[in-house]
Amino acid sequence: MRRTVRGTSTAALAAVAATLLTSVAAAAPGPGAPSVGDPYYPNAGNGGYDVSHYDIRLTYQPTTDVLSGTTTITATTTQELSRFNLDFGLRVSSVLVNNVAATFSANAAGDGELVVTPARPLAKGAPVTVVVAYNDRPSTVKINGFTSWVKTADGALAVNEPEIASWWYPSNDHPTDKATFDVSVEVPDSVVALSNGTLVRTTKNRTGWTRWWWRSTQPQATYLTSLEVGKFEVNRQTTPDGKPFVTAYGADLGDSLGAAKASVERTPEINEFLATQFGPYPFEAQGGVVTTAIGFALENQTRPVYGARGFIAGSNASLVAHENAHQWFGDSVAVGRWSDIWLNEGFATYAQYLWSEHVGEGTAAELAQYVYDSKPADDPFWQVLPGDPGADRQFDAAVYDRGAAAVHALRSQVGDEKFFQILKTWQATKKGGTGRIEDFTALAERIAPGRPVRQLLKVWLYTPGKPFAGPNGPTAR
Ligand code: ARG
Ligand code: ZN
């Protein structure tokens, strides 16, 4: 499911040029590119096809960490293809392309590339169905030297950013190729299997095992598709506007359980507030999963996951506001390139400021000013560029805090009315797709003509050093 990607980087052009050269050398039809050409993650995604749906059908046994089953990918080719890549690290037993056995090479270089050669080349613009059968222990699998799969005492978690898919299903692993998902996972009766979207049903086909069927009906990025297996208290409720609201709390939360519930159970109320700021909540379901197994939180589509330590000091609605703001900024409108991470973290952090003001705590203006005032000009914080932090600093504090101050600086410059018009127009026009910082800048310039928006964002996002004017403008303080 690929929308138009505006703005093309030099590296992307180089990747395209390389592909063209390869296909000329091999004579058409050539192979699909092994990458989408994202400079931060050179192996991420692939070229030559566009996925519309993943049907993931697995069995997981926590006692052995064995994950087995099939993923069926429905795609359309965007060029003639002699072969193509998927991103996947597990051991593969067979690949069918349009019901015919294909030859394949699975993670041969340890870089998570599954290379598939169909029996006959695929025509351009043709529907294609790929069935990958596999069986492995994900916690033993390394891709580019590391593992993202988390094994727990009673289950496992597939939760990470920017890369997790390759440890549990084959995909075109880049936010520019979103798809809908069916995730069906069979686990022992003593544990549950959680994923995104709506719980369609649970079934029992063999004694001692339950199969959980989850469905996401709106375009979803591969890294935002999650799996949590283990002992959880699962609560199935409905939001005031009639959507499924599924929350799950790890059985081992102990003292954090009360604070976690007091926070995550407020999700519908928080989303109702965020909808007044950004436009309608973009998805068919809401929820949250709390676990002791990770030390961060992640905005998995419709159902963020929270590391329990987020609630160790008490309830934390602010964290819930951050992850749910990502449902708009990050999930519904995803990054076009990973260097665009400010569009996710700057806005999710700013949403925490808006929530704070909404509940009568510090105002957004005060919180943004605090970021500015609390860090002296020689603090290394000011050297990280929120607009292009580098892959190794993608989640640096500067992307979040300087990034949120940048959002407030924009608001100060264009005024409240145009500011919220920019946010809502961005959401409405990019819903279900991706965006780049350049697209956002152009939109802000269009809605606030005559304001030096581009220059302001250049200073806040792309210029090392502490900006001379604070986020409330040159006259404030
Ligand atoms: N997007 C997440 C958040 O800010 C951050 C994830 C960081 N990734 C990680 N593996 N720690 O909500
Ligand atoms: Zn975030």
pLDDT in tens, 384-393: 999 999 999 9
Percent of the chain with pLDDT over 90: 93
Amino acid 424: pLDDT: 98
Amino acid 29: pLDDT: 77
Our mutation pick for probing the ligand 1 site, out of 296, 301, 327, counting the most ligand atoms within 8 A of Cβ, is: 296
CB under 8 Å, gap of 24 or more: what pairs does 257-263 form? 259/311, 259/312, 259/313, 259/314, 259/315, 259/316, 260/290, 260/306, 260/308, 260/310, 260/311, 262/315, 263/311, 263/315, 263/316, 263/317, 263/319, 263/320
pLDDT at 23 over 50: no
Q: Whose CA is nearest to atom 11 of ligand 1?
A: 296
462 lines ligand 1 (CB under 6 A): no
Amino acid 89: pLDDT: 98
Q: Whose CA is nearest to atom 5 of ligand 1?
A: 298
Amino acid 476: pLDDT: 53
Place of tokens 């950013």: 161
* Segment 286-307, tens digit of pLDDT: 999 999 999 999 999 999 999 9
Q: Which residues contact 305 (CB under 8 A, 6 or more apart)?
A: 157, 159, 226, 228, 288, 289, 290, 291, 294, 297, 298
Mean pLDDT of the chain: 94
Our mutation pick for probing the ligand 1 site, out of 147, 298, 329, counting the most ligand atoms within 8 A of Cβ, is: 298
Atom of ligand 1 nearest to the CA of 295: 11
Reported ipTM: the value is: 0.97
Beta carbons of 289 and 232 less than 8 angstroms apart: yes
Buried b or exposed e, range 349-385, using 16+ CB within 10 angstroms = bbbbbbbbebeeeeebbebbbebbeebeeeeebbebb
Amino acid 2: pLDDT: 56
345 lines ligand 1 (CB under 6 A): yes
Q: Which residues contact 469 (CB under 8 A, 6 or more apart)?
A: 409
What would the mean pLDDT of 430-453 be, rounded to a whole number? 97
What single letter denotes the amino acid at residue 86? L
**What residues have their beta carbon closer than 5 A to ion ligand 2?**
345, 348
pLDDT band at residue 60 under the 50/70/90 scheme: very high
Distance CA 250, CA 258 (A): 12
The pair of structure tokens assigned to 113 is 């590339």
Beta carbons of 113 and 87 less than 8 angstroms apart: yes
Cα 52 to ligand 2 centre (Å): 26
pLDDT band at residue 20 under the 50/70/90 scheme: very low
pTM of the model: 0.94
Amino acid 7: pLDDT: 41
pLDDT band at residue 342 under the 50/70/90 scheme: very high
Residue spans of beta strands (DSSP E) within 125-280: 127-136, 150-151, 156-158, 179-188, 192-194, 198-203, 209-220, 227-230, 232-238, 244-250
